[in-house]
Amino acid sequence: MMITGGNINDTTMMTAVLEDIRVPRDGKGRPRTRPDRVLADKGYPSKANRAWLRGRGIAATIPERDDQIAHRRKKPGRPIDFGDQQQERYKGRNVVERCFNRLKQWRGIAMRSDKFARNYRAAVCLAATLIWIKTDLSRPA
């Protein structure tokens, strides 16, 4: 999780978030730092993000915005394929959106009224932990 100012758009922070990922392995070894695939919404399909992902060999499932599709039709080039497989993968993105929705049920997180970023980060961590505990405990064993 990265906390930024309210006027910073998500697109500019995508690379920073992905560089900060560390996923522990099941056995021995260093944690993984590179995902196999990135799923993102229409807010992320910039040339810089796609080039960064391509340079690291990370597959992307990011739909293009309508204005980008129209611009691409005017110029010859390689269209970005968002066929049936990509659409099927993209269906998993709703889990992330539901998570954001659950977090924003907390008024302090939705309003972001904290004076300091560390306090806001602590509130997000607390809310995420409580949501995780409630979700995890409500599942049958």
Q: Tens digits of per-residue pLDDT, 97-110?
A: 888 899 989 888 88
Q: Are 40 and 61 in contact (CB under 8 A)?
A: yes
The pLDDT, as a whole number, for residue 125 is: 92
C-alpha span between 121 and 15 (Å, rounded): 20
> How many domains does the chain contain in total?
1
Place of tokens 């922070």: 13
Q: Is residue 97 part of a domain?
A: yes
Its pTM stands at 0.70
Low-confidence spans in the chain with pLDDT less than 70: 76-81, 137-141
Q: Is residue 79 part of a domain?
A: yes
Intra-chain end-to-end CA distance of the chain, in Å: 29
Its domain, for residue 78, covers: 10-103
The pLDDT, as a whole number, for residue 36 is: 86
C-alpha span between 78 and 72 (Å, rounded): 9
With 0-12 CB in 10 A as exposed, 13-18 as middle and 19+ as buried, what is 65?
Answer: middle
Beta bridge pairs of residue 24: none
Q: Is residue 89 part of a domain?
A: yes
Q: Is residue 36 part of a domain?
A: yes
The pLDDT, as a whole number, for residue 92 is: 80
Q: Is residue 135 part of a domain?
A: no
Side chain identity at residue 109, one-letter code: I
